[in-house]
Structure 1
């Protein structure tokens, strides 16, 4: 990979899929300068026109969804059935933000609540925030791009998108469709390159906001750089989601939540995947048996084949890190009972049992198909252990006792709790995000578009006789 060119490979076969330019600092600065004109153009565009443009983008993506899904699978490694679902989500997100573009409501604030101001009128207006830098991760690039770029455009902003360096090709094609839909060129730009580009976007004063989905380490650095110009920084960062299985749980359903939400979906490379499993002693053996039985049915292989459940990780280096994390868990006393073998960028889905909860590897976010299973006796101990993580994205609890479910959910220090389901759940109309090192931000149709606006207060003196 040269300095000026980013080469994109199929992580499973090492086939070269394409090349894109890596932008220089001067080119990034020029893009930010151009975005100022793009910002003026978008801010002047009526809401109904912005909504219509977003609808056109959704229709164009839909017309190419099969080819986009295939391209995304090839460059990303996720199985083709999952990338189809991701493209479908992006289509829904663009249409959802098209509707939100027409619902940027202000307020009338009663000044008669303040003595002496009874005859005055106050209203608030929603205005575009300014050019937005959208830093998109590799694991769900098309879907998370849609959340960021569609929201920025719906609110009347220009957006500069940095696609993931390892799998940018699908977004390159989407950007062409955005231009085809009539969005002004300076209002929607791709800025391609490595972490240097991200950091430059965070520093430059011409950017009003940075939105990033990524690691906690990356988020901290972006927040630090963004603080230099007091820009708005929106952080959706790492997770180490806990799943708590109580004695009265449906163990088959709980095992399925781990298999589908951790070992298969995204090849385990999801911030909201189940990464720690706590099982009450009474059902521990039954749960592990169900988990092993279901995991054995997973098909591992070429991500472009319909039958594949688990494809390659994004890169061989990523698979090596997962392999090392499994080794550390075993060294700390866990027992590997299935999988864990690495072949290039592929990792066979791994199940580890009797995991010591004090293991440092158990506390880390393992970004791959690994399910470590620990034992507990008292549900409050499971809650305590779940909350000891520095992350707080999602958690899940399996129980047939709804009162117990709500009681545990209330005590968990996370952004979302799933009852009797996998933590790997994201619907575009729900607020998504977490506490602590997960960043504290919430992303979703109704939240993000407002975050990309600012409020202006207008007071009319003596409006009332």
Structure 2
């Protein structure tokens, strides 16, 4: 496949390409160009010109192209899901769900394109302004650059690309290096749906070339990124040079708190799904720390182990697979290293803790304390650390003892406790009686602390990707 630049499918200027590898088998699926600095500069010039084209589209035209994009994604969902499973490693059932979710997101933002509204603000709220009239409008910010991660590349692309286009912006997308193929195929469908070629670029290549150029370019008005906290910090540093707007969803070390009065069966099911059996454990808002009240610690642990031990690890295209490979062997080795460090610090292995190439077995660790590696650091793989607590105050202190704050989960039958505890948790979102690894397109999603800034969600992303302008008419009303 090729990169999309200036309305054409192109090779890199120096002809270099990189193979895309199936993490389940190690086989090459296809190859993509490795864009050069020259290629990025050309795409930026095209986007700079394309923002005028995009700004000139009516809201109905933007609605039409996004609605048709959604329809084409639906029509091609079987092909897209299989391609995504091959290049990403998530089980086919999950990639099918991701493609369907993507179609819904495009449809939602298609409708939102018709709802970008301003408001009339009364000027007589301040003495002396009684004869003035004012209103606000939202206008495209200009050029949006989207940096997409590997773990949920299609869904997270939709959360960035659809609102950028709905708001009338030009768009440049950097797909993930490890799995860009499905996004390139969707780009073909979007062009067929009527997205103007001048307003949409997709450039494959390393972050050190493409990502850094986009983050530092004065042509880009907003950069939206889902990535590790380290990458987010680098992008922020570069973006600050041109004072561009940045929205970031970064790493997480998300907590789930299981109180003694919880439905323990449901809590165990939620932890398995939210940590081990979704995305192969590679989800920013996955359950990464499980706090259990001591009275039910042993009972919950046994329920969790029973469910976790039934998971099937295998090829992403095998219908029986629950947990596929990590994105590449380096990622699996990183999980192995942090688990081994935690074991050396005194944690006990109840299940798993073994690597086979790209695969890392579903793992449950007990006797974990706050000083251990898996408590302090984000683990991007299928690993569940169990930590005990006695009182609600202790649980809150443990939960908030993290540099991250993306999503959290609470399990309790006490509605008052749930409301109060949710208010005091330091997180961008809290889910009661289910896993925190839950995201709905129409809800604002994002984190606090090192988990990022800004929010994604239908309506909320549109606000991030538009500029608010006030228009004031002086002395238009007659004097009293």
Tell me the TM-score normalized by structure 2.
0.95
What corresponds to 1:420 in structure 2? Answer: 433
What corresponds to 1:228 in structure 2? Answer: 241
Q: Cα offset for 1:416?
A: 0.8
CA contact (8 A) 2:374 2:385 kept: no
CA contact (8 A) 2:15 2:33 kept: no
What corresponds to 1:345 in structure 2? Answer: 358
Unaligned runs of 5+ in 1: none
Q: Cα offset for 1:120?
A: 1.2
CA contact (8 A) 1:332 1:356 kept: no
Tell me which of 238, 250, 267 is aligned to 2:280. Answer: 267
Q: Does 1:189 align with 2:192?
A: no
Q: Cα offset for 1:5?
A: 1.1
Q: Does 1:110 align with 2:122?
A: yes
Residues in 2 aligned to 1:328 and 1:362: alpha-carbon distance in whole angstroms: 12
Q: Cα offset for 1:439?
A: 1.1
What corresponds to 2:48 in structure 1? Answer: 36
What corresponds to 1:398 in structure 2? Answer: 411
What corresponds to 2:133 in structure 1? Answer: 121
Tell me which of 168, 177, 191 is aligned to 1:179. Answer: 191
String of CA shifts for 1:42-94, please: whole Å, max 9, x gaps.
10000000001000100111110011000000000000000011001110000
3-state secondary structure, aligned to 1:206: coil
What corresponds to 1:286 in structure 2? Answer: 299
What corresponds to 1:212 in structure 2? Answer: 225
3-state secondary structure, aligned to 2:114: coil
Q: Does 1:434 align with 2:447?
A: yes
Q: Cα offset for 1:462?
A: 2.3
Q: Cα offset for 1:452?
A: 0.6
Question: How do residues 148-163 of structure 1 correspond to structure 2 at under 5 angstroms?
Answer: 148-163=160-175
Q: Cα offset for 1:4?
A: 2.2
Residues in 2 aligned to 1:242 and 1:3: alpha-carbon distance in whole angstroms: 46
Q: Cα offset for 1:329?
A: 1.2
Residues in 2 aligned to 1:22 and 1:279: alpha-carbon distance in whole angstroms: 47
3-state secondary structure, aligned to 1:101: helix
Residues in 2 aligned to 1:289 and 1:3: alpha-carbon distance in whole angstroms: 55
Residues in 1 aligned to 2:165 and 2:374: alpha-carbon distance in whole angstroms: 41
CA RMSD of aligned residues (A): 1.0
String of CA shifts for 1:383-439, please: whole Å, max 9, x gaps.
111111000001111111111111211110111111110011001001001110001
Q: Cα offset for 1:463?
A: 2.0
What corresponds to 2:80 in structure 1? Answer: 68
Q: Cα offset for 1:181?
A: 0.9
CA contact (8 A) 1:336 1:350 kept: yes
Q: Cα offset for 1:276?
A: 0.3
String of CA shifts for 1:29-53, please: whole Å, max 9, x gaps.
1101110121101100000000010
3-state secondary structure, aligned to 1:373: strand
Runs of 4+ in 1 over 3 A off after TM superposition: none
Worse-matched range after superposition: 165-174 or 451-460: 451-460
Residues in 2 aligned to 1:34 and 1:285: alpha-carbon distance in whole angstroms: 60
Unaligned runs of 5+ in 2: 1-13
Question: How do residues 94-109 of structure 1 correspond to structure 2 at under 5 angstroms?
Answer: 94-109=106-121
